[in-house]
Every structure is written in structure tokens, then in C-alpha cells.
Structure 1
Amino acid sequence: MKFQFRLAYYMFGLFLGGVFVIWFLKSKATDRGVEFCYFPNCRVLKDLRSKSLEIDTLAQRSIDQKLVTMDDVRNSLRYGDVDFDKSNKDYRKGKIYIIEGKTASNEEITITMVNYTNKVLLEKIEKK
């Protein structure tokens, strides 16, 4: 058999195998709500979202003044960026994390959270 035909058969089989794997993994992920988080930013945000949330008085004041909403905080915890230069430091028997996100009106906000073993404290919300 010529090299061209062997290459064509190989590429066709590789294509079918790739389609099968993508279809299989996608159906598994959507059925069970599985989220693939391998990068540090995604893993930290997923850990913060998975724990119960307590709101400090300073953060509650920002929410009460309608500077931000809880939807803005939730969206920042899903799509925001963790500032690792200022984060992951010991703070009040937990670890502090600084998350940069955006509001629904596309204004930049900075959220300060303290991650404990069983809960997360929303300490401060600031607009830039």
C-alpha cells in the first residue's frame, strides 16, 4: 500500500477517534456538572465558590450602597482573575485572596476574601 493511502487512513481514524473522545467527554461533563479546572486561577476560584460565604460589615456596606450586587460578586468568582502577587498569604488564621472582576455595567472591582478551611469571608469590595 502506498504511503499516501496509509496516511489518509491514519488521518481518518485519528479524526474519528478525536470526535468520539470530545463527544464522550463533553456528554460526561454536562451530565454531571463537572468542571475541568487545572490552572491555578480556576482552582482557587472554584474552591472559593464551593464554600459557604460570610459577608463582613465593610463588604455589606458596599452592597447596601448599591456599589455592587451579589451577582457581580458571583460573576467575579466565576470569571475573575486572582492577583497571586498579593494573595495566598496567611491572614487571620486563613489565606487572603484578591480577585479582580467586573460589574454588570463593566466597571472594574477588586474583591478581598479570606479563605478558611470551612468558610469564605467576603471582607471588602472596592471599585477602581
Structure 2
Amino acid sequence: MKFKYRLAYFLFGALIGIIFLMFFLNNKKADFCYLPNCRVLKNIRSKAMVISPTAQQKLDAKWVTMEDVKTCTEDGDVDFSRSKEKYKGGTTYIIEGKSTKDELIEVEMVNYDNKVLLKDIKKLENN
């Protein structure tokens, strides 16, 4: 069999396979999260959140809301160079993101096996 016929069969089979996968995976709402940043944020979002007194004071000051923290855990960037410290049996993660007012904020969270502790929230300077 000539090369152009083998290539045509291959491309036809690959096209059928892609259509098949798109049809089935589209209905499952599958989420492909393989990069470290995405995996950490997904793990944090999947657990119940406990708020520390320090973070509660910042939330009571009304310059940041829980919506801002949730936005940070969805679209933020984990600073791995400052993260991974152990804190009372959990792992600390520093997440940088934006608030709903488009201000830069930094959220410090401690990831435990069954919960997440919102330890602190800081406002960063806009560069």
C-alpha cells in the first residue's frame, strides 16, 4: 500500500477517534488538570474552608471578601518558592491573585487532609 493511502487511513481513523472522544468527554464535564498550579488549586477548592482569626479580621475590615478568596483559588498563581512549609500538620501555600476590584492580593492557606485553613490575606502593591 502506498504511503498516501496509509496516511489517509490514519487521518480518517484519528478523526473518528477525536470525534468519539469529544462526544463522550463533553458530556462528562471532564477537567484535565495536570500542571502543579492547577492541581494544588483544585485540591484546595475541593475541601471545606476554615477561617483563622487573623483572616477573619481582614474579612471584617471589608477591603476583601470571600468572593475575592474564591476567585484567587480559581484563577490565582501558587508561589511554590515560598510555599510547601509545614504548619501544624499541613502544608502552607501562598496564592497570588486579583480581587473583584482588580487589586492584587496574596492568600496564605494551609492544606490539611480533610480541610483548608485560610490563614492570612494580604494586599499587594500594584506595579
What TM-score do you get using the length of structure 2 for normalisation? Answer: 0.86
Q: Partner residue of 1:21?
A: 21
Which of the numbers 88, 106, 110 marks the counterpart of 2:84?
A: 88
The yes-or-no answer on 1:106 pairing with 2:102 is yes
Q: Partner residue of 2:112?
A: 116
Gaps of 5+ in 1: none
Note closer, same or farther for the CA distance 1:20–1:121 as it changes in structure 2 (3 Å cut). same
Identity %, equivalent residues: 52
Q: Which moved more, 1:1-10 or 1:83-92?
A: 1-10
3-state secondary structure, aligned to 2:64: coil
Which of the numbers 34, 38, 60 marks the counterpart of 2:34?
A: 38
Q: 1:5 Cα shift?
A: 3.9
Q: Partner residue of 1:51?
A: 47
Gaps of 5+ in 2: none
Q: 1:82 Cα shift?
A: 0.8
Which of the numbers 66, 70, 93 marks the counterpart of 2:66?
A: 70
- Aligned-residue Cα RMSD (Å) equals 1.7
Amino acid at match of 1:12: F
Q: 1:97 Cα shift?
A: 0.7
Q: Which moved more, 1:72-81 or 1:7-16?
A: 7-16
Stretches of 4+ moved more than 4 A in 1?
Answer: none
Q: 1:35 Cα shift?
A: 2.7
How many pairs were matched up? 124
What TM-score do you get using the length of structure 1 for normalisation? Answer: 0.85
Amino acid at match of 1:50: S
Amino acid at match of 1:4: K
Q: Deviations over 1:58-99 (max 9, x none)?
A: 111211111111111111111111111111111222211100
